[in-house]
Structure 1
Amino acid sequence: MSIYFVRHGETDWNVAHRWQGSADIPLNENGIHQAMIARDKLANVRMDRIYCSPLQRAKKTAEIINENWKLPITVDERLAERCFGVHEGVCDEHIDFQKIWSCSDEIIWEGSESANRFYRRVESFLDELIKLAEDQNILLVAHGGVSIPFYCHFHGYDFEDLHSVMIGNCEIRIAEHGEAKRIL
């Protein structure tokens, strides 16, 4: 079976290129529309479980997509976006993406979560989830930052450009059971 990962729909901070992190920013109208498109793309997929981040932009996206199945949505704190502390709301141009997401550079801003701690948090969730994915299709709705350890969990962390593995708003990434089983 498969794990389907969907990043939340667009927010006004996405449009303004501001780092959201743990700031609980709602979807904008386009984000709601994107979630409806993702819902329609997944309409013919049998889904057994849905997990999402506790942040409202992910929860609303999950609720819209879940109109296909009307399953209970399990909120898991480990799927929350990384906290960027005092840099939440800062524009992209003022942040070195590669350095901030690198496991080797432990940049910690006031009130922020380190990259290593964030990766370990998300991976602890994925380790539990993979066992369920042997015989179920599972939907995760979370954040762009969470899409990095999701992808790297199955393909390794040896990327020169971590930005290239982050997915866009309401993009869908799928980890097939074979990929998930490979890392057990």
Structure 2
Amino acid sequence: MTKIYIIRHCAASGQEPGAELTETGMAQAVELSGFLSELGIERIVSSPYTRAVQSIAPLAEALAVEIETDERLKERILSSGNLTDWFERLKSTFDDHDLVLEGGESSRQALDRISQVAGELEKSGQTAAIVTHGNIMALLLSRYVEGFGFEGWRALSNPDVFVLTDAPDGKSGERLWNEDSR
């Protein structure tokens, strides 16, 4: 049974690709490293966005594992325009996976690219970590967790951790990170 840990980045200073972790986010990254360090992670693949790489850097250093970056793990672009009703528009893309807003990417397109990464890691047989962003993470979780969608996305925290398993009896996902127990 292959295990993939999917991790949402820690608290960041913004949404742009170069946004760094906040002071709180840096402390979360250290806590995250301690939480993940005993799980047998052999490979780390991250979004190239600064906040994602910074979130996993303490673990990579502790495990002496290189952080591989993959463009397919970057956050989904909802639209190139400034949407005043972005929240409602985002919800509509969870309801209609083929809906594409101006300059954006459909849920199906984003799900396909992150699923490619997960599929490649499943075939590798290694215990791996994927570090990414909330929207695209929620789309991947919809393949592993029954009924996971817009409300699941809303419930994600920064950081957040799920373990995805691909066993002979089917795919499953389980949340491991619980802010209340931290």
**Shared fold by TM > 0.5?**
yes
Q: Structure 1: which amino acid aligns with 2:30?
A: M
CA contact (8 A) 1:51 1:140 kept: yes
CA separation in 1, counterparts of 2:165 and 2:80? Answer: 37
Cross-structure match for 2:134: 144
SS at match of 1:39: helix
Counterpart check, 1:9 vs 2:10? yes
Superposition RMSD on alpha carbons, in Å?
2.5
- TM-score of the superposed pair, with normalisation by structure 1: 0.78
Aligned position for 1:26: 20
Q: 1:102 to 1:54 in 2, by over 3 A?
A: farther
Residues 1:119 and 1:39: Cα distance change in structure 2 (over 3 Å): same
Aligned counterparts of 2:95 and 2:49: Cα–Cα separation in 1: 24
The alignment of Structure 1 onto Structure 2 pairs a total of residues equal to 168
Could you tell me which of 79, 102, 106 is aligned with 2:95? 102
Cα deviation, residue 105, structure 1 = 5.4
**Alignment partner for residue 39 of structure 1, among 33, 45, 55?**
33
Hey, what's the Cα distance between the residues in 2 that align with 1:86 and 1:3? 31
Q: What is the CA–CA distance in structure 1 between the aligned matches of 2:81 and 2:51, rounded to whole Å?
A: 19
Shift of 1:168: 1.4
Give the C-alpha shift of residue 30 in structure 1.
Answer: 0.9
Question: 1:164 maps to what in 2?
Answer: 152
Question: Percent identity between the aligned chains?
Answer: 23
- Structure 1 unaligned residues grouped into runs of 5+: 14-19
User: What do the CA deviations read for 1:135-182 (whole angstroms, capped 9, x no partner)?
Assistant: x211111111121122122235x55x5231563112111113428x72
> What CA distance in whole angstroms lies between the structure 1 residues aligned with 2:160 and 2:50?
18
Shift of 1:84: 2.9
Q: Which runs of 5+ in 2 are unaligned?
A: 172-182
Return the match for 1:83 from 77, 101, 105.
Answer: 77
Structure 1 residue 126 corresponds to structure 2 residue 118: yes
Equivalents in 2 of 1:87, 1:163: separation in Å? 24
Choose from 53, 71, 76 the match for 2:47: 53
SS of the counterpart of 2:167? helix
Paired residue secondary structure (1:140): strand
Structure (1/2) with the larger strand percentage: 2
